[in-house]
Amino acid sequence: MDLYDCVESLIDVVSPYRIVTLLRSSDYTIGTGHRQTPTYSTPISVSAQIQSIDSKELSQLDGLNLQNITKVIYIHGLLSGVIREDVKGGDIIQFDSHKWLIVKVLELWPEWTKAIIVMQESV
């Protein structure tokens, strides 16, 4: 039984779901100056819930030296942060005219993911 599905309608009253664009990290190419340039799969629209980050999640970021706007995202489906073994950067989420990088996956379940995202740049 997926408990998240059971409470989803109640959560939506307090913090509504929104449609965001997901770009899954797929690989990289070598660009100018022999720098790695990430590549992404075809963008898809997904339902997500964006929340402010709380103190418990902030403690999990300790040592990552992030100095930007951070939020938590809940999304139906799977997200990936940086996976060095698979040569992947983090997935990108686009909403509110900005790109957001998945920097840490907090919870990974078969139907949904909770992750920390950091604002990168304007779209």
Q: With 0.75 as the threshold, say if the pTM is over it.
A: yes
Mean pLDDT computed over 36-60: 82
Q: pLDDT band for position 121 (50/70/90)?
A: confident
pLDDT (0 to 100) of residue 5: 64
Walk me through the domains of the chain, giving residue ranges and CATH numbers.
Answer: 3-122 (2.40.10)
Residue 10's Cβ-count burial label (10 Å; 0-12, 13-18, 19+) is exposed
Q: Is 114 helix (H, G, I), strand (E, B) or coil?
A: strand
